[in-house]
Amino acid sequence: MANRMKIFEYDDLIFQVRESERRETLEIIVDRDGSLLLVTPPDAPPAALEQFVADKLVWIYTKLEEKAAQARREPRVYVQGEGFYYLGRRYRLRLVDAEAQRVPLRLFQGRFCLRRDVLPHARERFIRWYTLHLQPVLDRMVPEWGERVGAAPREVHIQDLGYRWGSRGKRGHVYFHWRVAMLPRPMIEYVVAHELVHLVEGNHDDAFWARLARLLPDYAERQRWLRVEGARYDL
C-alpha cells in the first residue's frame, strides 16, 4: 500500500508526515536541505506526535543548526571586502587601525568598519552591533504590528535563539534572534507578525494561520523565502 503524506506543525517547525503500514514506532528525519520528515504508524493520534516532537526538540534544533552551518556558502574569516548583511543589504568589510576609529565596529559610508585590534573577537563585535541596531527597528515595528494583531508583548528580548528567528515566551514575553537584523524588512515584518499572533493563538492551528493570513496575505511566500534563503543570513 502506498504511503500517505500530510503536514504536521509544532511551534515553528513544519514536518511532512509519512504514514507507513509497516511502521510501529515514530521517527524524525532531518534532510540535507533542513526539511523535516516525521515517519509514523497509520493514524497516529496528534497528541502522540506532539509529545514525540516535544521530547526531541533539542535534538531537532541541534540537527537543523548543523544543516544550516553546512549550507552557509561563505565561512566567515573577517577579511577586507567580505560581505555582511544589514536589513537585507550587503555591506563590504573594511579593516581600520585603532587610531582611525574609536568604536570597535561601525557602519560608515556604506562599509562595515572593523578595527584590526578586535579581529580575534570579530564575531562577538558583530553580534553586539546587530543586537544594538535591531532594537530600534523592533521598537518601531512591534507596536505597529501589535495594534494590527490586537496584542502587545510585555517585554521584547533579543538573544541567540539557535535555529529559530523568534519565539513566544512565558508571561507575554517575545524573543527575537539578533540575526533578524540581517534580514530584509519584509522578512522582519513576517517574523514580528508571526510571534505577535502567537500571543493570541498559541499553536500553529487553523486559527493561527487564518489570523496571520488576514494580516499578511503573502505570509506563505515570506515563510518559504526564509526557509530557502535564511541560512546565509548568519555569521
pLDDT tens digit sequence for 176-187:
999 999 999 999
List all residues 6 or more positions away from 70 whose beta carbon is below 8 Å from its beta carbon.
none
Q: Are residues 122 and 162 in the same domain?
A: yes
pLDDT over 60 at 199, yes or no? yes
Q: Are residues 112 and 209 in the same domain?
A: yes
Q: Are residues 20 and 89 in the same domain?
A: no
- Tell me if 77 is assigned to some domain: no
Domain final position from 22, 45, 71 = 71
- Tell me if 35 is assigned to some domain: yes
Q: Are residues 189 and 117 in the same domain?
A: yes
pLDDT over 90 at 227, yes or no? no
- Tell me if 53 is assigned to some domain: yes
Q: Are residues 23 and 116 in the same domain?
A: no
Backbone angles phi, psi at 2, to 5 degrees: -70, 145
- Tell me if 192 is assigned to some domain: yes
- Tell me if 78 is assigned to some domain: no
pLDDT over 50 at 1, yes or no? no
Q: Are residues 26 and 123 in the same domain?
A: no
- Tell me if 166 is assigned to some domain: yes
Domain final position from 44, 71, 98 = 71
Q: Are residues 192 and 95 in the same domain?
A: yes
Amino acid (one-letter) located at 106 = R
CATH number (domain holding residue 227):
3.30.2010.10
Q: Are residues 55 and 123 in the same domain?
A: no
pLDDT tens digit sequence for 96-152:
999 999 999 999 999 999 999 999 999 999 999 999 999 999 999 999 999 999 999
Say what the pLDDT of residue 33 is. 64
Q: Is 81 left (phi over 0), alpha (psi -120 to 50) or beta?
A: left
Q: pLDDT band for position 204 (50/70/90)?
A: confident
Q: Which domain holds residue 153?
A: 83-232
Pairwise CA distance, residues 84 & 92, whole Å: 6
- Tell me if 217 is assigned to some domain: yes
- Tell me if 76 is assigned to some domain: no
Q: Are residues 131 and 193 in the same domain?
A: yes
Nearest to 209 by CA among 228, 227, 223: 223
Q: Are residues 207 and 132 in the same domain?
A: yes
Pairwise CA distance, residues 217 & 69, whole Å: 31
Say what the pLDDT of residue 123 is. 96
Q: Are residues 61 and 150 in the same domain?
A: no
Kind of pairing between the strands at 111-115 and 89-96: parallel
pLDDT tens digit sequence for 64-108:
877 766 665 567 889 999 999 999 999 999 999 999 999 999 999
Total domains in the fold of the chain: 2
Domain final position from 21, 42, 71 = 71
Q: Are residues 62 and 156 in the same domain?
A: no
Pairwise CA distance, residues 67 & 2, whole Å: 29
pLDDT tens digit sequence for 6-65:
888 887 788 888 888 877 889 898 876 677 889 898 888 888 999 999 888 888 888 887
